Amino acid sequence: MEPERRAFLKSSFVATGGMAAMAAGGLSLVSPALAEASHSKLKHTAHYHLPANAETVHWGYFSKSLKPQVEIASGDFVTIETLTHQASDDAERMIDGDPGAESVYLWTKDKMGVSPRGAGPMDAKLGPGGGLGVHICTGPVAIRGAEPGDVLEVRILDVAPRPSANPKFKGLAFGSNAAAWWGYHYKDLITGDKPREVVTIYEVDATGNRDWARAVYSFRWPGVTDPFGVSHPTIDYPGLPVDHSKTKRNFEVLKGIRVPIRPHFGTMGLAPAESDKVNSIPPSYTGGNIDNWRIGKGATMYYPVAVPGAMFSVGDPHASQGDSELCGTAIECSLTGTFQFILHKKADLAGTSLEALDFPMIETSEDWVLSGFSYPNYLKDLGPEAQSAIFEKSSIDLAMRDAFRKMRQFLMHAKGLTEDEAISLMSIAVDFGITQVVDGNWGVHAIVKKAIFAERPV
């Protein structure tokens, strides 16, 4: 292992049994008793590294049938590289000289580095997979002994930008924001040519010395003919190579604006059980494309396990995003994360806060964040045509209703409130926000401060 990984494994977090430390004092959903039960099953922990390349990623879908890239035990650590699916918007800055990115984005008239791109058929008109799912996901990681009914705890211990490999941009990383046809704004433009798609390229300090991003330039989507000869007048298939000799770049965009960075993973979760190949765009009960900027360093995710091995994948890395992801994407920027995986067995969950968990839940040092969707499990809720129907049926009203119901259940089950107490508390102390309105299955999140319960008996 590299020296920094050896140092990490010797850190006080690991040495003190980080799981029990986080659970102490009621700071975590994991009670001291559950922490002890899960910790007792741990053996020697290992640290793995999973690079992002054409052999380790799957593009645009989750699947319970994928071969695991690595199998780990509960308690193990994995450093995982992730690539943005928007890197070809500026290959010079985000692909060139990077062997992993070059292998993934390889596309000639005879070959694609990664195919299919999406959950659709191989002979789709737009290209293999049809673009029915756009995210480059690294994995899956299989957790030994994970079974349906268990809960997987995923701690995000570190997140760092992937530096540009081009010597011209040493010390920098870059990301792309696409104001695209699927954005909430697209049919509500008030100036200029309508409709239009505009891409903005942002620069991030890869050394970590600067905590803000700046816009470098923007350009109107020029229309692309891909290496297979298919025309793409809009951004309708992932990894389309943009030829900047055909664009007009505006280097005066957003002058004097500093965008605070919030590095996080837009798409992260487990394989669902309902279908073999599931479009990566709509989020669901096992996570996926939640697009909540709080899923970053220091956060912990809890997921219900739906298939043997859990089959964890991560992608859609973002340098920053606001609640709503309104125009279509965040600052899509390749990142590397370090994660620890803790498996909580179904037999140990009775009477705990995680006993009834059937949706992805975020925990930070200060908050619990519950994810509501238009359809909590759209794959089951919408029947055989769910993967197409979800894009026609989403609404904020439905997502708000789901977030309300989940928070009510959490406050009653995990915190012992009556229904009337829960409803009152939600109105005066719980913040509901729009997670995203661009991912098919729209999202509303509910945030409750841990400090509210400081004087309540555990």
Q: What is the distance between the alpha carbons of residues 286 and 261, in angstroms, rounded to a whole number? A: 27
Question: So what's the pLDDT on residue 31?
Answer: 84
Q: Which pLDDT tens digit goes with each residue over 359-374?
A: 999 999 999 999 999 9
Phi, psi angle pair for 222, to nearest 5°: -90, -5
What is the pLDDT at residue 422?
A: 98
Res 21: pLDDT: 38
In a domain, 205, yes or no: no
pLDDT at 448 over 90: yes
Q: Residue holding tokens 């003919």?
A: 225
With CA atoms as reference, report the closest residue to 155 among 342, 25, 303.
342
Would you tell me how many other CB atoms lie within 10 Å of the CB of residue 382?
Answer: 17
**Phi, psi for 178 (deg, rounded to 5):** -110, 115
pLDDT in tens, 185-198: 999 999 999 999 99
pLDDT tens digits for range 306-331? 999 999 999 999 999 999 999 999 99
- pTM over 0.85? The answer is yes
Closest alpha carbon to 100 in 113, 110, 112, 88: 113
Tokens of 47: 């640290």
Residue 55 covered by a domain: yes
pLDDT for 44 beyond 80: no
Q: What is the pLDDT of residue 22?
A: 42
pLDDT for 305 equals 98
Residue 255 CA, chain-centre distance (Å), reads 29
pLDDT band at 40 (very low <50, low <70, confident <90, very high): confident
- Closest listed residue to residue 57, CA positions, set 156, 155, 134, 165: 134
The per-residue DSSP string of 124-189 comes to -TTSTTTTSS--EEEEEEEETT--TT-EEEEEEEEEEE----SGGGTTEEEEEEEE-TTSTTTT--
Question: What's residue 47's pLDDT?
Answer: 97
CA distance 213 to 368: 28
Q: Is residue 438 part of a domain?
A: no
- What is the model's pLDDT at position 14? 40
How far apart (Å, rounded) are the C-alpha atoms in residues 317 and 337?
10
Q: What is the CATH number of the domain that holds 344?
A: 2.60.120.580
| pLDDT average, residue stretch 249-268 | 98
Q: What is the mean pLDDT of residues 219-233?
A: 98
Q: What is d(CA 354, CA 347) in angstroms, rounded to the nearest whole number?
A: 12
H/E segment holding residue 21: helix 18-23
The pLDDT value given to residue 5: 39
pLDDT value at position 28? 83
Residues 148-207 have pLDDT tens digits of: 999 999 999 999 999 999 999 999 999 999 999 999 999 999 999 999 999 999 999 999
Please give the full DSSP string across 228-290, using - where no structure is assigned. TS-EESSS-STTPPP-GGG---BTTTTTT--EE---EEEEEEE--SS-SSEESSS-BTTEES-
Kindly report the average pLDDT of the chain as a whole number: 93
pLDDT of 247 above 50? yes
Q: Quick one: which of 335, 355, 347, 325 has its CA closest to 440?
A: 325
- With a pLDDT cut of 90, the percent of the chain lying above it is 90
**Count of residues in the chain:** 458
Per the rule left: phi > 0, alpha: psi between -120 and 50, beta: everything else, 247 is beta
Q: What is the pLDDT of residue 9?
A: 37
Per-residue pLDDT, averaged over 393-402, amounts to 98
Find tokens 């912990």 and name the residue. 300
CA distance 325 to 339: 25
Tell me which residue of 24, 20, 25 sits closest to 35, measured CA to CA: 20
290 in any annotated domain: yes
Query: How many folded domains does the chain comprise?
Result: 1
Instruction: Kindly provide the residue ranges of all beta strands, DSSP E only, lying in 307-398, ordered along the sequence.
Output: 312-320, 331-332, 335-344, 361-363, 367-373
Tokens of 304: 């219900």
**In this predicted model, what pLDDT tens digit does every residue of 9-31 receive, in sequence order?**
333 334 333 443 344 345 689 98
Four-residue CA torsion sign, 227, 231, 232, 236: negative
% of the chain at pLDDT higher than 70:
94
The 8-class DSSP code of residue 411 comes to H
CB 173 within 8 A of CB 333: yes
What CA–CA distance (Å, rounded) separates 209 from 215?
A: 17
Q: Is residue 277 in a domain?
A: yes
| pLDDT for residue 3 | 38
At residue 9, what is the residue type?
L
Q: Can you name the residues that pair with 200 across neighbouring β-strands?
A: 177, 218
The residue range of the domain holding 90 is 3-161+260-350
- Beta-sheet pairing, 287-288 with 335-344: unpaired
Evaluate whether residue 203 is within a structural domain. Answer: no
User: Are the C-beta atoms of residues 213 and 331 closer than 8 Å to each other?
Assistant: yes
In a domain, 32, yes or no: yes
Q: How confident is the model at residue 235 (pLDDT cuts 50, 70, 90)?
A: very high
What's at 414, amino acid-wise? A
What's the rounded mean pLDDT across residues 113-122? 98
Identify whether 454 is part of a domain: no
pLDDT of residue 26: 52
- Is the separation of the CB atoms in 91 and 176 below 8 Å? no
